[in-house]
Amino acid sequence: MGVLERVNSTDDVSALSRDELHALAAELRSEIIRVCSLGGGHLASSLGAVELTVALHHLYDTARDRIVWDVGHQTYGHKIITGRKDRIDTIRQPGGLAGFTTSSESPHDALTVGHASTSLAAALGMALARDARGDDYSIVAVIGDGALTGGMALAALNQIGHVKPKMTIVLNDNEMSISENVGALNTFMRSLQVQPWLHEVEAQGKRTLGQISQTLVDLGSRAKKAARRFFDPNSANPFHAMGVRYVGPIDGHDIDQLLYYLAHVQELSGPTMLHIVTKKGKGYKIAESDPIYWHGPPKFDASKPVAASKGYTWSSAFGDAACALSSADDRVWVITPAMREGSGLVAYSQKHPERYLDVGIAEDVAVTTAAGLALRGEKPIVAIYSTFLQRGFDQVIHDVCLENLDVVFAIDRAGLVGGDGMTHQGVYDLAYLRALPNMSVAMPKDVPEMRAMLKTALKLGGPKAVRWPRGKATPAPEAPVAAWEELTWGSWEVLKEGSRAFILALGPTVGYALQATADLPEVGVVNARFVKPLDEALLERLARRAEVLITAEDHVLMGGLGSAVAETLVDKGLRVPLHRLGIPDVHVPHGDPAAQHEAFGYGPRALRRTLEALGLAQPTLL
């Protein structure tokens, strides 16, 4: 029987011998590969954290102690050994386990998470609560070098170094964010190397700082010099300088070293950072050699793993458009907060490196840097996922909209996103952007319209957001930017005339509406591609003609297209029944977006049912 078979709880992990812990790590690694091969998932990060996971669960009781995993995407091993091994095959699948730590899923998940850089502030809060109540449990934050580039993480570190609560911060440094990590702190971390003498210290079982120092003296001067950097609070180390004791770096794949140093650090007062060096994708050759692809691959054949093409997507279309726009105008820049691949910008970063900026996981910095560029006459495009723009909301208002600056927001992953689930749904941006003076928001139905919107937005200036969904797109024929269409900003498009009703559709619901009404001459379809400004003149004409209007959007009902239409109708005194279809007031978990669109009433079949209920279509027999 394998060790994993016997492990049903963290208590079981605590009881394992060293040899069994090594065996458990190997078994977890195979299990993570198997699970990710079935349905895709965060493979490389979970593989890199296997030894850390085993060591933490051996030392800590996670039902009581709090392990706060940053992002929560590296926790497949953690989930398997905290009572979820029987359900691990369902991870990211509809109705299955979430892909990130989720507190409603298990008491062992200290935090519901998915966005980066929250672990340190959350752990600080937990430590303050623990100390205020006089409780006695341990708190460990695990943060990657990528997540550490986030302003939230750095600001929390600043506070932790000031308040000095007892806690361990494991800095899991694999030199990678999703793509190569960036920034000055990253450069500093690269100057540190795991020291071979660490084995000696650990092998001799020395624990107190005095004992360790003596061992190092015995080991000779080279080790002594390195050790000064390792343990000396006065050494030039930015973490020390911020008031957080720093230990490391150590080899994060060496369970013995991990156990030794984690236990050592646990005995110290105040906050201590243990810097561990790991390899993303560790133990799976193909993932080690291409950790960018294997960060979050779709399902694959574990016996013959190959990187598969993701096909032509909306992100590819944006990348192509950005290349063309930058070639046509040397004031166009593209800024990404650590999402080069996801935003379709690999080719752009190579073609226009002088006007490409990856600021790390720092969406706020992306937005305000764009503001700075715009203040000096440049034309920045902030390429950002809808869900991550939430992190830069104040900056959009305060730094871009207040100054009415020429910043284009190229918003990817708008709408329900699938496997990433609750934390990543891009379903709030219409609501939060529509409210801002000077901002306008558009969503194309296809790639030529996306091009037209980006071109027109850059030409008109001012804060302009263009959003598109995750997933496949049909490429537009190659054409120079000069030949791209320009749009009347704020104009809707009647795609299908109707005599009794109109569906006002947006992005993916345009296709759904056309499908649902193909045989219904009385029901028209409008591409309501601008949510702000609305095409008020056209809306008024439709409202005066129709028995009923229906809005359909892949966005929350509160504050989206339907809200905008309702407000305009009321303001203009137009009394026409309005059916608003979209996402109700709930957090939507991971699932198949097409099925979720149906469940929320704006998929093609559900739209048809609404039309039937309104007497606009005959009930279908099937």
Binding residues (CB under 6 A) for ligand TPP: these are 45, 48, 70-71, 73-74, 115-116, 144-147, 174, 176-178, 280, 338, 361, 388, 391
Closest distance to ligand TPP from the beta carbon of 152 (Å): 8
The residues that bridge with 246 in the sheet, in sequence order, are: 273
User: Which residue, 100 or 512, is less far from ligand TPP as judged by CB?
Assistant: 100
CA neighbor of 446 nearest in space, from 492, 396, 511: 511
C-beta of 48 vs 77, nearer to ligand TPP: 48
- Smallest gap, in angstroms, from Cβ of residue 276 to ligand TPP? 12
Question: Around Cβ 213, how many Cβ atoms within 10 Å?
Answer: 17
Q: CB-based burial of residue 79 (10 Å sphere; 0-12 exposed, 13-18 middle, 19+ buried)?
A: buried
Write down the least CB distance from residue 99 to ligand TPP, Å.
11
Which one is catalytic: 363, 464, 470, 529? 363
* Helix ranges (DSSP H) in 221-352: 221-231, 238-241, 255-266, 285-289, 314-328, 346-351
8 Å CB contact between 609 and 616: no
Work out how close the CB of 180 gets to ligand TPP at its nearest, in angstroms, rounded to a whole number.
10
End-to-end Cα, the chain, rounded Å: 51
Minimum distance from residue 117 beta carbon to ligand TPP (Å): 6
Phi (first) and psi of residue 70, to 5 degrees = -75, 140
- Kindly report the CA angle at 280 between 274 and 283, in degrees rounded to 5? 110
Q: Beta partners for 169?
A: 141, 273
Q: Which of 79, 280, 467, 580 is catalytic?
A: 280
Cβ proximity to ligand TPP: between 170 and 556 the closer is 170
H helices, E strands: number in the chain: 27, 17
Quote the least distance from Cβ 320 to ligand TPP, whole Å: 22
Token readout for 269 is 């007062």
Does residue 545 have an active-site annotation? no
Q: 47 vs 583, which CB is nearer to ligand TPP?
A: 47
Name the 3-class secondary structure at 249.
strand
Return the number of the residue (417 or 616) whose C-beta is nearest ligand TPP.
Answer: 417
Spatial separation of the C-alpha atoms in residues 400 and 411, rounded to whole Å:
16
Q: Which of 97, 104, 107 is nearest to 73 (CA)?
A: 97
Report yes or no: 403 and 571 within 8 Å, Cβ to Cβ. no
Q: Of the candidates 559, 581, 594, which has an alpha carbon nearest to the alpha carbon of residue 503?
A: 581
Nearer to ligand TPP, 80 or 487 (CB): 80
**Closer of 74 and 610 to ligand TPP (Cβ):** 74
CB of 46 to ligand TPP, least distance (A): 8
Task: Specify burial of residue 530 (Cβ count, 10 A radius: 0-12, 13-18, 19+).
Answer: buried
Q: Are strands 530-532 and 523-527 parallel, antiparallel or unpaired?
A: unpaired
Instruction: Quote the least distance from Cβ 393 to ligand TPP, whole Å.
Output: 12
Q: How far is the CB of 286 from ligand TPP (least distance, A)?
A: 17
Q: What is the amino acid identity at position 204?
A: Q
Contact by Cβ (8 Å): 359, 114: no
CA 591 to chain centre: 16
Exactly one of 29, 66, 340, 391 is catalytic; name it.
391
**Known catalytic residue at 363:** yes
User: Which helix (DSSP H) or strand (DSSP E) does residue 570 occupy?
Assistant: helix 561-571
Residues 169 and 120: beta-carbon distance below 8 Å: yes
Which CB sits closer to ligand TPP, 99 or 444? 99
Contacts of residue 596, Cβ cutoff 8 Å, sequence gap at least 6? 416, 588
- Least distance in angstroms from the C-beta of 56 to ligand TPP: 15
Nearest CB to ligand TPP, comparing residues 116 and 503: 116
CB nearer to ligand TPP: pick between 79 and 115: 115
Q: Is 378 exposed, middle or buried (0-12, 13-18, 19+ CB in 10 A)?
A: middle
Residue 240 structure tokens: 């020390």
Residue 391 annotated to the active site: yes
Phi first, then psi, for residue 502 (nearest 5°) are -135, 135
Active site (catalytic) residues: 280, 363, 391
